[in-house]
Amino acid sequence: MTQPVALEHVVVTGGAGFIGSAFTRNYLAWHPSARVTVIDKLTYAGNLQNLAPVDGDGRYRFVQADICDYDAVAPVLAGADAVVNFAAESHVDRSILDPDVFVRTNVLGVNALLRAATGAGVRRFLQVSTDEVYGHVGEGATPEDAPLKPRNPYSASKAGAELLAWSYFSNFTLPVLVTRGENTIGPYQYPEKATPLFITNALDDQPLPIYGQGEAVRHYLYVDDHAAAIDLVLHQGVPGEAYNIGADEAINTVALAERILDLLGKPRSLMRFVPDRPGHDYRYNLDCTKLEGLGWRRRYDFARTLEATVVWYRTHQDWWRAIKSGEYQDYYRRQYGAALAGAR
Ligand code: NAD
Ligand code: TYD
């Protein structure tokens, strides 16, 4: 293990999204002398309300910018100690509907950011990646040196970002670290991913669309545990290395939907089986030995993770009701309209 590196000024790109905002809120609490500058384009998924708890904290600053725009981003990075890049198009189903924007932000945007970070001479560049870069894992647990075999435009663009980041490590000695986290849930997650979609639909007695037979397996990680792991890797990880971040329990989609309905006291009849996602990865499973070697322990098991998430959505309906209008309705109709009309 290396000595923890001191990082006073951290630039968090994509910090108005779900995990980036959790990281920002926590980082300011965990490191009282640190400063955080958030850069975010505020796409449909970015929301300044996610950062409202730190608004007014003199150590926090927000800059609206696109990570593809080198000229806008480079001056913000000048003098920074570290960059943690969360900025991405992040939803698999949208990447199947419209791949282009995924390549733009997740590959070209990351290249612009890597170039700016190299110019600024930052001491750490942490690229937040995903377990999805490994693709479907039929059996066993995946270590970090397993081949990357992404199978949808989202995961392919995230794998492309990683490969570019490694090239900056090799060619320009940029101190790159990569984390590959599992499915993450908790407060402030845009209600397009399965868990917040199921919870908010159930609260409105709307159907829960389950792809195929609902047999795909995921592990659900609490967002604060994910943020804590990124903080650990940022300070104590070895540049040039990737770190898996995983949750404990394997849950298929039917079990996830049932647990949510039970927690909310809603009937199981709200589950609707719709046509499967094309190229659906049926299983991910990470080997987290390397992260545990840095001393990481998750604080939330699956039961606590899901309960905390359900309670937050039940008690923060203003936040998600404001989102579930406008653009969201167009996306929902495009993604689910015909499928739900023909569902059993
Ligand atoms: P999110 O969609 O909630 O947030 C993404 C943020 O990036 C938004 O605030 C958006 O406005 C911003 N953004 C998008 N394009 C941008 C651009 N061109 N320039 C600047 N900002 C831009 O995503 P999330 O769920 O918080 O995921 C954050 C990161 O973590 C992503 O890189 C994702 O691949 C990774 N990840 C997510 C999960 C998960 O389960 N959600 C799991 C593992 C890894
Ligand atoms: P999702 O939250 O989109 O994350 P991932 O990036 O892992 O695909 O989906 C989690 C699981 O739930 C995945 O197996 C796909 C499934 N799913 C549904 O069955 N219905 C849905 O409406 C969505 C969004 C996902």
What is the per-residue pLDDT for 343? 76
Pocket flag, ligand 2, residue 210 (CB < 6 Å): yes
Whole-number pLDDT of residue 326: 82
CB within 6 Å of ligand 1 — which residues? 14, 16-20, 40-43, 45-46, 66-68, 86-90, 105, 109, 128, 130, 158, 181, 183-184, 190
Is the minimum distance from the CB of 270 to ligand 2 under 6 angstroms?
A: no
**Tens digit of pLDDT for each residue in 264-305?**
999 999 999 999 999 999 999 999 999 999 999 999 999 999
pLDDT digits (tens, 9 = 90+) for 130-153: 999 999 999 999 999 999 999 999
Report the nearest-CA residue for atom 21 of ligand 2.
Answer: 194
154 as an active site residue: the answer is: yes
The whole-number pLDDT of residue 1 equals: 52
- Tell me if 16 sits within 8 A of 46, measured CB to CB: yes
Among residues 132, 182, 192, 225, which one is catalytic? 132
Q: How many CA atoms within 13 Å lie on the side-chain side of 298? A: 25
Q: Tell me the ligand closest to 260's alpha carbon.
A: 2
Q: Which helix (H) or strand (E) holds 319?
A: helix 317-323
| Residue 176, helix vs strand vs coil | strand
Q: Is 131 tagged catalytic?
A: yes
CA distance 247 to 186: 13
Ligand 2 within 6 A of CB of 189: no
Q: Given the CA of residue 68, which atom of ligand 1 is nearest to it?
A: 18
pTM: 0.98
Angle between helical axes of 302-315 and 253-264 (0-180°, round to 10): 50
Specify the pLDDT at position 199.
98
User: Of all atoms in ligand 1, which is nearest to the CA of residue 104?
Assistant: 18
Low-confidence ranges of the chain (pLDDT < 50): none
Going along the chain from its start, the domains and CATH numbers come out as 9-184+221-245 (3.40.50.720)
Ligand 2 midpoint to CA 181 (Å): 15
Cβ proximity of 320 and 189 under 8 Å: no
Task: Tell me how far the alpha carbon of residue 163 is from its chain's centroid.
Answer: 18
- According to DSSP, the residues that pair with 286 across neighbouring strands are 142
Q: Tokens for 224, please give them.
A: 């604060």
Catalytic one of 131, 162, 182, 231: 131
